[in-house]
Amino acid sequence: MKIGIVCYPTFGGSGVVATELGKALAKEGHQVHFITYSQPSRLDFLNENLFYHEVEFRSYPLFEYPPYELALASKMVSVVKNEGLDLLHVHYAIPHASAAYMAKQILKTHGIYIPVVTTLHGTDITLVGKDASYEPVVTFSINQSDGVTSVSEDLKRETYYSFKITNEIEVIPNFIDLEKFKKQKKDHFKKAICPNGEALIVHTSNFRKVKRVMDVVHVFNNIHKVVPSKLLMIGDGPERQPAETLARELGINDAVRFLGKLEAVEEVLSVADLFLMPSEKESFGLAALEAMACEVPVISSNTGGLPELNIQGVTGFMSNVGDVEDMTRKALFILDKDNLPQFKLNAVARAREFDITQILPLYEKYYERVLEKAQALKGLQTS
């Protein structure tokens, strides 16, 4: 198949899923064309089946807001035509699904029918998409897609609840490459951070409000009072500075290190004992899956799709959003030396269920179904 993938090329979860999916499809022999405004950060390997097309958009003094969506739709039209794509797969509804709809209509006037698959990732539905300034366009473009997938059952429910959706939504969960995300021997690194055998707690995110980064600092502060421990904060975003200030105010700044964005997160996860994800909303929780793959149990909130990943009392624990005391109690239970080894084994066993080798065929089969449906429709129109 020749597949066009549209995504945000940044560090966010949807971009990571889209890029890893494209890489895996290319390894399987499909031809994959990424269409984005810059090189996706995880598009870091060479394969004869991988192509990258940059969306260039010119500004003009008249434009206070450059019309990116138009430039993207135009680029989709040219890539579909010039490369003979079979299908467009857009990740994150806004604005990719509506740009794809426009490209599809333009291509129809050239006698080309390009099926569009839209994958809903989370905040495109739960936060941004619901907003009145986007809702009609999001509803319309989901309903106009030839296929729609969501990354969890919860996100599917939420989408049907919040929008008037007439399309079927297929759940295909996030996945992990266990060749990359696995526990590596990094004893020297652990020794450098925890010279006295302290427990190592890790949080990774884009430090947006929805991640409740302050809860991470509060939970750690409580743990630190009982168990000698260190906290590594990976990623960057608007809540980083307030979190650093809070750590200083609580007097734990020596035990907390902010590392910023890291390429090789798996190296840090390899030496971690516990992962914290107290998010307000989380459609799946890819960062928690990455931790679990590296044998790290998870303390998370019980929101969104997290109960579909983190099994209560087995791979970690869940608490209500904002219940810092409950999260602390459960974290201390996991960190007990009699409990930790089993939680670690359970975490990686669960992660194996989301191995890319299990999930990739689901996408391939779904593409085939969408293409068959499109062919049948074309047949009806020409007969």
**Nearer Cβ to ligand GMT, position 19 or 270?**
19
Contacting residues for 341 by C-beta, under 8 A, at least 6 apart: none
Footprint (CB under 6 A) of ligand GMT, residues 2-41: 12-15, 17
Q: Least separation, in Å, of the C-beta of 108 and ligand GMT? A: 29
Q: Least separation, in Å, of the C-beta of 235 and ligand GMT? A: 10
Footprint (CB under 6 A) of ligand GMT, residues 238-297: 281-286
DSSP codes of every residue in 131-152: STTTHHHHHHHHHHSSEEEESS
C-alpha 321/C-alpha 301 separation (Å) is: 5
Helix (H/G/I), strand (E/B), else coil: 26? helix
Of 232, 266, 260, 234, the C-alpha closest to 351 is 266
Reading the block at residue 245, the tokens are 């200030």
* Residues 76/99, Cβ–Cβ less than 8 Å: yes
Q: Least separation, in Å, of the C-beta of 152 and ligand GMT? A: 8
Mode of pairing for the β-strands spanning 229-234 and 2-6: unpaired
Among 4, 115, 122, 316, binds ligand GMT (CB under 6 A): 122
Cis peptide before 66 (omega within 30 of 0): no
C-alpha 160/C-alpha 128 separation (Å) is: 16
**Nearer Cβ to ligand GMT, position 144 or 206?**
206
Footprint (CB under 6 A) of ligand GMT, residues 198-217: 206, 208, 210
**Nearer Cβ to ligand GMT, position 152 or 229?**
152
Q: Least separation, in Å, of the C-beta of 368 and ligand GMT? A: 22
**Element (H or E) spanning 332, and its range?**
helix 324-335
Q: Which stretch binds ligand GMT (CB under 6 A): 102-110, 119-127, 323-331, 354-362?
A: 119-127
Of 277, 295, 302, the C-alpha closest to 346 is 295
**Nearer Cβ to ligand GMT, position 92 or 181?**
92
Q: Least separation, in Å, of the C-beta of 271 and ligand GMT? A: 23
**Nearer Cβ to ligand GMT, position 79 or 288?**
288
> φ, ψ for residue 247 (rounded to 5)?
-60, -40
Among 34, 92, 101, 363, binds ligand GMT (CB under 6 A): 92
Helix (H/G/I), strand (E/B), else coil: 168? coil
Q: Least separation, in Å, of the C-beta of 285 and ligand GMT? A: 5
Footprint (CB under 6 A) of ligand GMT, residues 143-162: 151
Q: Which stretch binds ligand GMT (CB under 6 A): 28-36, 52-60, 66-74, 116-124?
A: 116-124
Q: Least separation, in Å, of the C-beta of 12 and ligand GMT? A: 3
**Nearer Cβ to ligand GMT, position 81 or 208?**
208
**Nearer Cβ to ligand GMT, position 12 or 129?**
12
Q: Least separation, in Å, of the C-beta of 267 and ligand GMT? A: 21
**Nearer Cβ to ligand GMT, position 199 or 309?**
309
Among 31, 36, 123, 310, binds ligand GMT (CB under 6 A): 123
Q: Least separation, in Å, of the C-beta of 96 and ligand GMT? A: 11
**Nearer Cβ to ligand GMT, position 12 or 95?**
12
Contacting residues for 62 by C-beta, under 8 A, at least 6 apart: none
Of 174, 146, 175, 170, the C-alpha closest to 160 is 170
Of 317, 138, 87, 333, the C-alpha closest to 227 is 333
C-alpha 203/C-alpha 211 separation (Å) is: 10
Residue type, 111: G
Counting residues that bind ligand GMT (by CB under 6 A) gives 20
**Nearer Cβ to ligand GMT, position 209 or 378?**
209
Say how many C-beta atoms besides its own lie within 10 A of residue 193's C-beta: 15
C-alpha 174/C-alpha 121 separation (Å) is: 9
Q: Least separation, in Å, of the C-beta of 92 and ligand GMT? A: 6
Cα radius of gyration (the chain)? 22
Q: Judged by CB under 6 A, does residue 121 bind ligand GMT? A: yes
C-alpha 235/C-alpha 55 separation (Å) is: 26
Would you tell me which residues interact with ligand GMT (CB under 6 A)? 12-15, 17, 92, 121-123, 151, 174, 206, 208, 210, 281-286
